A and B are shown apart, each in its own frame.
Chain A
Amino acid sequence: MKKSVKFASTAIAVALSGIWMAPLQAQLPENLRDYALAAQRDKGDVIAPMFNGWIANEDGSTTYVFGFANKNALEIVDIPLGPNNFLEPAQFDGVQPTHFPTYSRGGFVGLQERGVFAVTVPQEMKDTPVVWNLTHAGHTYAIPGHAIHSSYEMSRAPAAFGSLNPAIRFEASGPEATDREGIYASRLTAAVGKPVTLSALIQDRGERDEYELEQDTFALGTEWIMHQGPGNVSFDVAKVTGRERGAAGGESGAASTNGWTEVTTTATFTAPGDYVVRLRVDNFEAPDSQFDNQCCWSNAYVPVTVTP
């Protein structure tokens, strides 16, 4: 009896909703129905592994660039390396982030953190996609990095006004990073709750001679970002924009012409274990450089072992 009452009331409700909905449905073509409306949740939503594009290198190898987007408005998510966070083929696994902050930068920049890491596959593997598998909130995404479409092609060539990716070194005469793949510093050690100093040398790069610009070099922006690790890390100075660095003097374009600028911060960790901190260096003050058009910044990574 109860069942039939429920069925009858459901049928009436469906019929009524049909009456109410009919005018709207009549206006909306069938091909535009069954679309979810974009709306952020505070928590419980997925982490999107994102393939940003591919670069054909001169030696025949191919570089695949990845980023991510945390769809949540508030929930910061950590997904350790392992069955819920791995790259295939396995030889490339381990360079991806485990820490996924939320971002809301506005405009076309939006929710994405771009160019977080990159892997380079040798020429003989150029037809093998590099797949980032990421599981969270009940969903698994297997996102391929592959060079199947020119619209995803990227370049290391100068941008419209000659900007190149900035350079990063950990030692004055050491190797340097000028790309998303980055370089790794020598491993540091630290104790839980005890600040440890992180530092790097940075330099603006560009081929700007042929352009009529007000300055030849630009103050660089920097951001220290937790990349991997079992706990949390806090920085005394996490982010300095190029505008802030330029305004502060001493590190502005004119003052550091073709010179290297040392950037430092202290990092304090909350739990023991192995961490990786990423340093992103950008030249977004240059007129041809923007985060949302994939130019220009470089990465460098600092491994830190934290003891109890």
Chain B
Amino acid sequence: MRKTRIAGLLPMMAILPTLAGAAEPVTHDITYAREVSRIIQDNCQGCHQPGQIGPMSFLTYEEVRPWAPLIAMKVQQREMPPYQYDAHVGVQELRDDWRMEQADIDTIVKWVETGAPMGDPADLPEPVKYPAIGEWRLADELGQPDHVIKSAAWDVPANGQDLWWEPEVDANINESRCIKAVETLPSKAAHGSTHHANSHFLVKNEAGEWVDDIRLSEFAFGKLGEKVPAGACRKVPVDSKVKWSIHYYPDGNFVADDQVSVGIWYYDEEDEFDEAAAYPQDLRLYALQGGGDYLIPPHGKLMTQGFHSFDHPVRIDSFQPHLHLRGVAMSIESFDPRTGRREILSQISNWNAGWNHSHTYEDGFQPLLPAGATIILTSWFDNSADNPRNPDPAQWVGAGQRTTDEMSHAWIAVTHLDEEGYEELLVERKDREAGAVASVGE
């Protein structure tokens, strides 16, 4: 797991090589007990243990050893851990960053090349306790959620076509509070068939009709929860309903009365959170090519783009590409009309539809965009046989709801600032960078 790095210059220019924080490569004989077991604990066991989504367990040397050459290959190719995010460009300061340090990758490769020895069992670390499937992933850090909203129960068939279940349920929210974190949790039984589960609030308008309000959460395969960053408030509406949009893709297992849950953690007195000083934040879908005005030719490739501008300064808090099986990459850039400068904020050039990560920028490193700036989203689709996830390269592919159709949009959390707040954040960053430079100079 990647450690927080010392800052570069402005976050939008954070393309400097790593300065510190990376694991040091070892020079003596590498053993499982002394080095590799710790890397496996930090990077692999969360999924690779009985009952979890990894297809094999990596809790012991005996379990790891048969897979050692494959592990070396997967980590070298950066297919595992499954966190696709380019290291050579864009903001590199991310929360919950699953990428392995290059030194750890080198250690595993060297260990495999030298016969993958066990070493002295006395060097093994203590086993780690992990949350089970069906338990909140954020609970270790935040405790149990303050409020849980469940979808209406529904029977998930074992086989057949994609299905969309869109029930409306009472939110049972009596007080409008700011969200600290939110996590969507598929049931243990339907963990493999819950393709996505989005939820948004419904509130009554003046005519008494239920109308769409803010988004509560977005979930797709592999996604963790989402934490609202400092200085921002995503507020829940009282007397509201939650409308779910759950996409099931049957995986061979029948699940009776399935329910998806969304857990909300609120800011409370212990958090030193000043609601009055917080700026509103929202999580929205930003479409490319109008959401559906594109067609990918058979055996061909295509790129789509989308442009979105703001009439006020904003802070980009997180970025999550959403593509389907032909999608292979997405990037987000900023364009500042004052300077004509385009800058890549994030790029994922090896997208994997099985892992929908919300790339959440570390506090203080979120891109800041002045009023009038534009974000430019670009996605890449490969409908050739070279794409290992492509179910049928002979077909034209367009937008649609089914897994075999495509989507081309990003979920982006944006804090909406005013000029004063924007300038304050700029000053904070300049001060920090000046401090970092002075520190390096000393």
The verdict on A107 contacting chain B, using a C-beta distance below 8 Å, is yes
The verdict on A151 contacting chain B, using a C-beta distance below 8 Å, is yes
A143 with B293: CB separation less than 8 A:
no
A109 with B399: CB separation less than 8 A:
yes
List B contacts of A123 (CB < 8 A): none
30 contacts between A and B (CB under 8 A): A27-B344, A29-B329, A31-B350, A32-B328, A32-B349, A34-B301, A35-B381, A37-B302, A37-B305, A38-B294, A48-B297, A48-B398, A50-B396, A51-B396, A71-B295, A108-B399, A108-B400, A110-B294, A111-B293, A143-B396, A151-B325, A151-B391, A157-B160, A159-B163, A160-B163, A288-B164, A288-B166, A293-B162, A294-B161, A294-B400
Interface size on B (CB < 8 Å)? Answer: 49
The verdict on B4 contacting chain A, using a C-beta distance below 8 Å, is no
Beta-carbon contacts under 8 Å, A60-110 to B: 69, 71, 104-110
A108 with B407: CB separation less than 8 A:
yes
Chain A, 30-48, contact with B by CB distance < 8 Å: what is the 0/1 string? 0110111110100000001
Which of B26-34, B177-185, B268-276, B284-292 makes up part of the contact surface? Answer: B284-292
A36 with B303: CB separation less than 8 A:
yes
B291 with A110: CB separation less than 8 A:
yes
List B contacts of A50 (CB < 8 A): 395-396, 398
List B contacts of A155 (CB < 8 A): 160-161
B303 vs chain A, min Cβ distance (A)? 4
The verdict on B310 contacting chain A, using a C-beta distance below 8 Å, is no
A159 to B293, CA, bound (A): 26
A292 is contacted by which of B86, B303, B405 (Cβ under 8 Å)?
Answer: B405
The verdict on A287 contacting chain B, using a C-beta distance below 8 Å, is yes
B292 is contacted by which of A106, A144, A157, A159 (Cβ under 8 Å)?
Answer: A106
A61 vs chain B, min Cβ distance (A)? 18
List A contacts of B400 (CB < 8 A): 108, 110, 112, 114, 292-294
B301 with A294: CB separation less than 8 A:
no
The verdict on A200 contacting chain B, using a C-beta distance below 8 Å, is no
Beta-carbon contacts under 8 Å, B377-436 to A: 380-381, 391-392, 394-396, 398-405, 407
Chain A, 133-146, contact with B by CB distance < 8 Å: what is the 0/1 string? 00000000101100
The verdict on A154 contacting chain B, using a C-beta distance below 8 Å, is yes
B395 with A36: CB separation less than 8 A:
no
The verdict on B298 contacting chain A, using a C-beta distance below 8 Å, is yes
A40 with B293: CB separation less than 8 A:
yes
A151 is contacted by which of B294, B302, B329, B403 (Cβ under 8 Å)?
Answer: B403
The verdict on A290 contacting chain B, using a C-beta distance below 8 Å, is yes
B392 with A152: CB separation less than 8 A:
yes
Tell me if B's interface is mostly helix, strand, loop or mixed: loop
List B contacts of A153 (CB < 8 A): 160-161
A253 vs chain B, min Cβ distance (A)? 18
The verdict on A148 contacting chain B, using a C-beta distance below 8 Å, is yes
A109 is contacted by which of B165, B292, B347, B380 (Cβ under 8 Å)?
Answer: B292
The verdict on B88 contacting chain A, using a C-beta distance below 8 Å, is yes
List A contacts of B395 (CB < 8 A): 50-51, 143, 152
Most buried by A among B163, B304, B380, B400: B400
The verdict on B22 contacting chain A, using a C-beta distance below 8 Å, is no
A32 is contacted by which of B154, B329, B403 (Cβ under 8 Å)?
Answer: B329
List B contacts of A105 (CB < 8 A): 292
The verdict on A6 contacting chain B, using a C-beta distance below 8 Å, is no
A292 with B344: CB separation less than 8 A:
no
Interface residues of B (CB under 8 A from A): 86, 88-89, 154, 160-166, 289-295, 297-298, 300-305, 325, 328-329, 344, 347, 349-350, 380-381, 391-392, 394-396, 398-405, 407
A148 to B390, CA, bound (A): 12
Given A152-B391, A153-B161, A294-B402, check contact A141 B396 (CB 8 Å): yes
Shortest 7 CB-CB distances between A and B: which pairs? A110-B292, A293-B401, A38-B294, A151-B404, A35-B303, A149-B391, A48-B396
A107 to B405, CA, bound (A): 13
B16 vs chain A, min Cβ distance (A)? 14
List A contacts of B291 (CB < 8 A): 106-108, 110
B401 with A290: CB separation less than 8 A:
yes
B331 vs chain A, min Cβ distance (A)? 9
- Name 4 extra pairs, CB < 8 A, besides A31-B329, A292-B399, A294-B161: A32-B328, A49-B396, A110-B399, A151-B402
A160 with B298: CB separation less than 8 A:
no
B166 is contacted by which of A31, A104, A110, A287 (Cβ under 8 Å)?
Answer: A287
A143 with B394: CB separation less than 8 A:
yes
List B contacts of A48 (CB < 8 A): 295, 297, 396, 398
| B397 and chain A: residue at smallest CB distance | A50
B401 is contacted by which of A36, A51, A157, A292 (Cβ under 8 Å)?
Answer: A292
A31 with B328: CB separation less than 8 A:
yes
List A contacts of B86 (CB < 8 A): 29
Beta-carbon contacts under 8 Å, A159-214 to B: 159-160
A55 vs chain B, min Cβ distance (A)? 9
A222 to B192, CA, bound (A): 38
A160 with B165: CB separation less than 8 A:
yes
Given A29-B349, A38-B293, check contact A152 B404 (CB 8 Å): yes
B64 vs chain A, min Cβ distance (A)? 30
| A131 and chain B: residue at smallest CB distance | B394
List B contacts of A144 (CB < 8 A): 394
Most buried by B among A37, A38, A106, A111: A38
Most buried by B among A34, A51, A110: A110
B154 is contacted by which of A27, A69, A154, A160 (Cβ under 8 Å)?
Answer: A160
B295 with A111: CB separation less than 8 A:
yes
A38 with B391: CB separation less than 8 A:
no
| A129 and chain B: residue at smallest CB distance | B394
| A288 and chain B: residue at smallest CB distance | B164
Chain A, 277-289, contact with B by CB distance < 8 Å: what is the 0/1 string? 0000000000110
List A contacts of B160 (CB < 8 A): 153, 155, 157
A288 to B244, CA, bound (A): 12
A152 to B402, CA, bound (A): 9
List A contacts of B292 (CB < 8 A): 105-112, 292
A293 with B294: CB separation less than 8 A:
no
B401 vs chain A, min Cβ distance (A)? 4
List B contacts of A71 (CB < 8 A): 295
